[in-house]
């Protein structure tokens, strides 16, 4: 496992995953090896492999919050929000991390649980108040929960912040469109976007605004499951 850690630190996640897989086959291999294998599978975007690894980890300790977070994350990426939600709901308050609460918020939103999604994203933001991803997610949760004023307050300045990425600027535009008459999408900064591209983004936001079902709308919003 030490060799796998060293290889992983050098950025060779594929070789590290192979070494961790070998470690899981050794006599007395514990939950740590399965968890690390699962984490590397997530990094390499192998959600199916991650799901299998975390399932093996939970077979050794069904109440391990790191394994629950890992399996919930893998299932969320596979599109199984209903399976992911109870795992993430168990792990998030015990781990008390931005990642755990963010992923729980995404699962809740995709299930149409707007109040629970808002609570989870609020907890994530309380742990990282200046993180633009958490602010964007919370603003979109406010929209889902019919609180446009809070959404505008939350997204204010996200498009012009020094750390703003294109996804943050587009989320700011999305919020400005979704709040209806209260919004002003024309003032949102969009770096590298010309007028036709801006209008296309606005048209797409209007399409999302017309979606009535909260779960379907959350899916269309593209909530950020990062960290």
Q: Are 178 and 113 found together in one domain?
A: yes
pLDDT in tens, 118-151: 999 999 999 999 999 999 999 999 999 999 999 9
Q: Are residues 122 and 74 in the same domain?
A: no
Mean pLDDT of 113-121: 97
Same domain, 143 and 75: no
pLDDT at 24: 77
Same domain for 129 and 89, yes or no, is no
Give me the pLDDT at residue 222, please.
87
Mention every residue, 6+ apart, whose C-beta is less than 8 A from residue 203: none
Of the residues 95, 121, 155, the one at which a domain ends: 95
So what's the pLDDT on residue 26?
72
Please tell me the total count of domains within the chain.
2
Of 42, 60, 95, the residue at which a domain comes to its end is 95
Q: Do 119 and 65 have their domain in common? A: no
Sign of the alpha-carbon dihedral angle for 192, 194, 198, 204: negative
Per-residue pLDDT reduced to its tens digit, 154-188: 999 999 999 999 999 999 999 999 999 899 999 99
- Non-local (6+) Cβ contacts of 71 within 8 A are 38, 51, 54, 55, 57, 58, 84, 87
Query: Residue 22's pLDDT is what?
Result: 75
pLDDT for 226 equals 60
Cα dihedral 10→13→17→20 (10° resolution): 20
Structural domain that includes position 52? 1-95
On whether both 75 and 124 belong to a single domain, the answer is no
Q: What is the CATH number of the domain that holds 17?
A: 1.25.40.10
Question: Is the domain of 115 the same as that of 35?
Answer: no
Q: pLDDT, tens digit, for every residue of 3-61?
A: 666 666 666 667 777 777 777 777 666 888 889 889 988 988 899 999 999 999 999 99
Are 109 and 221 found together in one domain? Answer: yes
What CATH number is given to the structural domain containing 158? 1.25.40
152 and 42 within one domain: no
Q: Are 34 and 84 within one domain?
A: yes
Indicate the pTM of the whole model. 0.90
**Residue 104, pLDDT score:** 98
User: Comparing 40 with 153, which gets the higher pLDDT?
Assistant: 153
> Do residues 73 and 19 share a domain?
yes
DSSP string, the chain: -HHHHHHHHTT-HHHHHHHHHHHHTSTT--HHHHHHHHHHHHHTT-HHHHHHHHHHHHHH-TT-HHHHHHHHHHHHHTT-HHHHHHHHHHHHHHH--HHHHHHHHHHHHHTT-HHHHHHHHHHHHHHSTT-HHHHHHHHHHHHHTT-HHHHHHHHTTTTTSTT--HHHHHHHHHHHHHTGGG--GGG---TT--HHHHHHHHHHHHHHHT--SHHHHHHHHT-----
- Write down which residue in 74, 95, 116 finishes a domain: 95
Two tokens, residue 55: 């399932």
């Amino acid at each position: 496992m030490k060799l796998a850690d060293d290889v992983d630190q050098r950025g060779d996640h594929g070789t590290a995953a192979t070494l961790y897989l070998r470690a899981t086959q050794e006599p007395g291999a514990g939950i740590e090896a399965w968890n690390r294998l699962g984490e590397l599978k997530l990094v390499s975007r192998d959600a199916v492999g991650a799901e299998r690894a975390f399932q093996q980890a939970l077979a050794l300790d069904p109440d391990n919050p790191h394994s629950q977070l890992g399996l919930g994350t893998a299932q969320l990426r596979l599109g199984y929000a209903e399976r992911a939600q109870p795992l993430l709901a168990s792990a998030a308050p015990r781990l008390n991390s931005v990642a755990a609460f963010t992923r729980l918020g995404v699962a809740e939103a995709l299930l149409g649980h707007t109040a629970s999604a808002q609570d989870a994203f609020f907890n994530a933001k309380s742990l990282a108040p200046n993180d633009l991803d958490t602010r964007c997610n919370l603003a979109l949760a406010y929209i889902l929960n019919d609180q446009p004023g809070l959404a505008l307050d939350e997204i204010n300045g996200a498009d012009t912040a020094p750390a703003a990425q294109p996804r943050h600027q587009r989320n700011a535009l999305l919020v400005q469109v979704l709040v209806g008459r209260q919004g002003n999408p024309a003032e949102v900064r969009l770096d590298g976007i010309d007028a036709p591209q801006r209008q296309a983004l606005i048209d797409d936001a209007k399409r999302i605004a017309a979606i009535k079902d909260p779960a379907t709308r959350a899916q269309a919003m593209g909530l950020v499951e990062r960290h």
